Chains A and B, each alone.
Chain A
Amino acid sequence: MGLAGLAILMFFLFISISAPILTPYDPLRDKFLAEGLALPAWYRILPQYRGLPETMDFTVAPKVDRENWNVTIEKPFRLAGDDPLTLRFQTIEGSSRSGTGELTHQFNYQFEPPLSFQVNTTLNFETVIGSVYQVDFSIVDPDFENFTVWSSGPNTKPSEPLQLKLDSKGLPFEYKSKMGLQWYENIAERVFSKKGVYTLMMRLQVEGPPSGQADLKVTLSRLVLHIPGRVHGALGTDHLGSDLLSQLLYGARVSLLIGVTASLLAVSIGLAVGLISGYEGGVTDEAAMRLVDVLLVLPGLPMLMVLSGLFGRSIWNIVLLLGVLSWPGFARVVRAQVLQLKTATFVEASRSIGSSDWHIILRHLLPNVLPLAYATVALYIPGAIITEAALSFLALGDPDTPSWGRMFYSANAFGAFQHLAWWWIVPPGIAITLLSLSFVFIGTTLDEVLNPRIRVRKRLE
């Protein structure tokens, strides 16, 4: 049984150390990797989820991929230059004064409609002489229905660079109504409602002056159609689109760190207080024991809550508080042990040859209490981890640290229940339970090995 515990512990140590290798995402800073509350990728095994899209990008920048992009020009303009995505329109004498250039990219979309899409592009107008233009971005679905996503309006003149960051969720109502949608309908669901070949189109209409030259040079820096997926990764995403698997893996680090540090702190303080108070006796002992009584009587979690509320929510505060509130229990045990050891003959012998008090404490008493200390450290670690998780769940933990408790808090506060997102709630719970279990196993096995009384007796029971 202890071996099982050790194996589980090794597993968690491994994932906490190799977390950066196992997952490329930063757990809290990499947001919008997919839609909020995306399903885990393996959900697509089930038939009804098979068609859900992953995060996709259709990019043109800055080189135009001649095979996938078409540039069509209507007369009378002449397309100049073979630069990547630089379009130049110059009038040809003797023909009409207006014309259209289109840039199209076709892609195959075979999934369920996404919940949103984004279009990012930058247009640099380098020369605009004597002409007005209109630029439109639109998406054409397999049945050739045209959805205009953005239009600059007719007779646009300015030559500043145009930077567009469009989100289908934030499009003004006029676009929606032009598409024939109600205000509450989702544009992305309507646009991508069919499976087939879609066309992403940028159209530039230029009109020259009644007489004279018209010259227009446009450089397209980027054109990206970004579709956030509805599935992502091994455990999906949280409400902001951060990867949940990364949170779980990095959370192992944080939880182990907190557990071990708080436990070591508590045991060290308890050891020190117990040794000194037990050995000195008298007033020191009385005062220390009163203090221990007072600290033991204060209710633990309420105390932690109140102190967190007063001191602020950082991870080191929590470690400190956990350590400071757990040492009294252990101090009492150490003191009892020291009282017993004090009467041993080797201590008397040592004192009779004139050893100082410190020497006796450090050289004789401490080594005898250390096994107890080791066992107690192992015992306190799961308690500290669970208490930190509880505090984070109650929103009193550090919001910048990706601990397992914080995963519970986000799950509770940002809609895991409403969306029945069990993959957000269950994994961290299982992780905490397994980790506690491993320490309990190790502790129980140590106990059975070290405590001769409950060892299985071979004779009749």
Chain B
Amino acid sequence: MGFRAYASRRIMNTIIILMVTVTLQFFIFRVMPGNPIAHFANPNLPLEARKTLLEMWGLDRPLHEQFLTYLYNLFSGRLGISFVSQRYVSNELLERLPNTILLMGSSTVLMIILGIHLGVSAGSRRGTKTDIASVTFGLLTQGLPVFFLGLLLLLTFAYYLPIATGGLINFPVAGTVSRPPPTDLPGYVLDMLWHLTLPMVTLVVIGFGGYTLVVRNLMIDALTQDYILTAKAKGLDTGSIVYRHALRSILPPVSTMIGLSISGIVGGAVITETIFSWHGVGRYLYEAVLQSDYPVMQGTFFLLSLVTILANLVVDFVYGLLDPRIRY
């Protein structure tokens, strides 16, 4: 069959999933309790303005026409106008997307690297102190709720420690950059990194545990294979065995996990972004839900689903490249 057939099958699958998701969202936001018209035209506007808006959005047409218009709008990027800020949803999303990707991307990369490294060293040294320490630490941090760790870190590093050390250790309480932001580029970057520290640490601490435990189990399993015994008999040193043979063999399931993490990047940071007031997509959706800002809810939700689906597709491709068995 080959890679091309596999790829085209996955793409077809993805398109079907995307269409079903979009349809599902269409119905969710329209068939919900409450006045569906209120979802598009701010009920505080006078009647004439509402009628004009409704005509503009085509909401007085029959349902199937609405659906086609909805699809057209969605895929040409017209996601609506926020009730609260009166700006285009797409513009606001574009503002916030880089921040979310920065936070989630760096956290995910760090957490994967840390988790895999700890898992490998724990698995290859089963029963020793390294193993027990890694596993215990991983277990403990995995059970922590995200918001609890975030609140604790915020409380300690942004409230208690600055008070206790008189401003020596001082982390920001909120935001992505300080107000006013530094005007020079190195200062700006440094400032952003300073703001990035606490949320990133929160996400990494919570996330690495899962990787550590799974990779450790996989490593233990892989090291019991016969070809490892052969390698040992051949006289290879432990480093080679672990990193060149065992680790390679466990890559497929690990890349599935990585794929899941990556596709969860955009949607996964809602709580962290809210606690640290990070100017990102997750917090945007949260505020929209609180304020019943329906265009924003719909647009953001669509974006999140789209990114997740696309990420899944990319992961499927990579998986296909890595593991020849599934292509044929």
Measured CB to CB, the residues of A under 8 A from B are 290, 293-294, 297-303, 305-312, 382, 386, 389-390, 393-396, 408, 411-412, 417, 420, 422, 425-426, 428-429, 432-437, 440-441, 444, 453-454, 456-457, 461
- Across the interface, do B24 and A294 meet the contact criterion of CB distance under 8 Å? yes
CB distance from A457 to the nearest CB of B (A): 7
- Across the interface, do A297 and B17 meet the contact criterion of CB distance under 8 Å? yes
- B16 / chain A contacts, CB cutoff of 8 Å: 290
Binds A, one of B74-82, B86-94, B186-194, B264-272: B264-272
- B223 interface residue (CB < 8 Å to A): yes
Q: A297-B17, A299-B268 are in contact. Are A436 and B297 (CB under 8 A)?
A: no
- Across the interface, do A417 and B145 meet the contact criterion of CB distance under 8 Å? no
- B304 / chain A contacts, CB cutoff of 8 Å: 299, 302
Cβ < 8 Å to A, chain B residues 291-316: 292, 297, 300-301, 304-305, 308-309, 312
Cβ < 8 Å to A, chain B residues 93-126: 126
CB distance from B42 to the nearest CB of A (A): 17
Q: Which of A293, A299, A308, A433 contacts B145 (CB 8 A)?
A: A433
- B290 interface residue (CB < 8 Å to A): yes
- Across the interface, do B151 and A425 meet the contact criterion of CB distance under 8 Å? yes
CB distance from A133 to the nearest CB of B (A): 55
From B143, B154, B300, residue with most partner A Cβ within 10 Å? B143
- Across the interface, do A429 and B267 meet the contact criterion of CB distance under 8 Å? no
Q: Which of A290, A297, A301, A461 contacts B312 (CB 8 A)?
A: A297
Q: Which of A300, A311, A457 contacts B224 (CB 8 A)?
A: A457
- Across the interface, do A461 and B305 meet the contact criterion of CB distance under 8 Å? no
Contacts A297-B305, A309-B290, A309-B297 aside, 14 further interface pairs with beta carbons under 8 A come to A290-B20, A297-B309, A299-B267, A301-B270, A305-B289, A306-B289, A312-B33, A429-B148, A433-B144, A436-B143, A444-B213, A453-B221, A453-B224, A454-B221
- B223 / chain A contacts, CB cutoff of 8 Å: 461
Q: Which of B17, B33, B143 contacts A310 (CB 8 A)?
A: B33
What's the dominant secondary structure at chain A's contact region?
Answer: helix
- Across the interface, do A395 and B21 meet the contact criterion of CB distance under 8 Å? no
From A293, A311, A422, A426, residue with most partner B Cβ within 10 Å? A293
| CA of A293 to CA of B263, assembled, Å | 13
Q: Which of B17, B213, B271 contacts A390 (CB 8 A)?
A: B271
- Across the interface, do A432 and B145 meet the contact criterion of CB distance under 8 Å? yes
Q: Which of A299, A312, A390, A440 contacts B142 (CB 8 A)?
A: A440
Measured CB to CB, the residues of B under 8 A from A are 13, 16-17, 20-21, 24, 28, 32-34, 126-127, 139-140, 142-148, 151-152, 154-155, 159-160, 213, 217, 220-221, 223-224, 263-264, 266-268, 270-271, 274, 282, 285-286, 289-290, 292, 297, 300-301, 304-305, 308-309, 312
Between A and B, 11 residue pairs with Cβ closer than 8 Å are A294-B21, A298-B21, A309-B297, A310-B33, A390-B145, A390-B146, A394-B271, A429-B152, A432-B145, A434-B143, A454-B220
- A301 / chain B contacts, CB cutoff of 8 Å: 267-268, 270-271
CB distance from A418 to the nearest CB of B (A): 9
| CA of A290 to CA of B12, assembled, Å | 12
| CA of A429 to CA of B126, assembled, Å | 31
CB distance from A9 to the nearest CB of B (A): 13
Residue of A nearest to B266 (CB): A299
Q: A432-B148, A440-B143, A454-B221 are in contact. Are A302 and B21 (CB under 8 A)?
A: no
| CA of A359 to CA of B34, assembled, Å | 45
- Which 3 pairs show the lowest CB-CB distances between chains A and B? A299-B267, A436-B143, A429-B148
Q: A290-B20, A293-B13, A310-B32 are in contact. Are A300 and B267 (CB under 8 A)?
A: yes
- B266 / chain A contacts, CB cutoff of 8 Å: 299
CB distance from B259 to the nearest CB of A (A): 12
| CA of A457 to CA of B264, assembled, Å | 37
Residue of B nearest to A289 (CB): B13
Q: A294-B21, A306-B289, A310-B34 are in contact. Are A437 and B220 (CB under 8 A)?
A: no
- Across the interface, do B139 and A394 meet the contact criterion of CB distance under 8 Å? no
CB distance from B147 to the nearest CB of A (A): 5
- Across the interface, do A437 and B139 meet the contact criterion of CB distance under 8 Å? yes
| CA of A299 to CA of B261, assembled, Å | 12
CB distance from B31 to the nearest CB of A (A): 10
- Across the interface, do A394 and B155 meet the contact criterion of CB distance under 8 Å? no
- B308 / chain A contacts, CB cutoff of 8 Å: 297-299
- B28 / chain A contacts, CB cutoff of 8 Å: 306-307, 310
- Across the interface, do A440 and B139 meet the contact criterion of CB distance under 8 Å? yes
Residue of A nearest to B154 (CB): A417
- Across the interface, do B267 and A461 meet the contact criterion of CB distance under 8 Å? no
- B145 / chain A contacts, CB cutoff of 8 Å: 386, 389-390, 429, 432-433, 436
Q: Which of B20, B270, B290 contacts A294 (CB 8 A)?
A: B20
- Across the interface, do B148 and A408 meet the contact criterion of CB distance under 8 Å? yes
- A435 / chain B contacts, CB cutoff of 8 Å: 143
Q: A302-B282, A390-B147, A393-B147 are in contact. Are A425 and B140 (CB under 8 A)?
A: no
CB distance from A355 to the nearest CB of B (A): 35
Residue of B nearest to A439 (CB): B143
| CA of A358 to CA of B325, assembled, Å | 35
- A417 / chain B contacts, CB cutoff of 8 Å: 154-155, 159
| CA of A309 to CA of B28, assembled, Å | 12
Q: Which of A305, A309, A433 contacts B143 (CB 8 A)?
A: A433
CB distance from A62 to the nearest CB of B (A): 49
- B146 / chain A contacts, CB cutoff of 8 Å: 386, 390
- B285 / chain A contacts, CB cutoff of 8 Å: 302, 305-306
From B126, B267, B289, B304, residue with most partner A Cβ within 10 Å? B289
| CA of A388 to CA of B152, assembled, Å | 19
| CA of A457 to CA of B20, assembled, Å | 49
- B127 / chain A contacts, CB cutoff of 8 Å: 456
| CA of A397 to CA of B20, assembled, Å | 29
- A290 / chain B contacts, CB cutoff of 8 Å: 16-17, 20
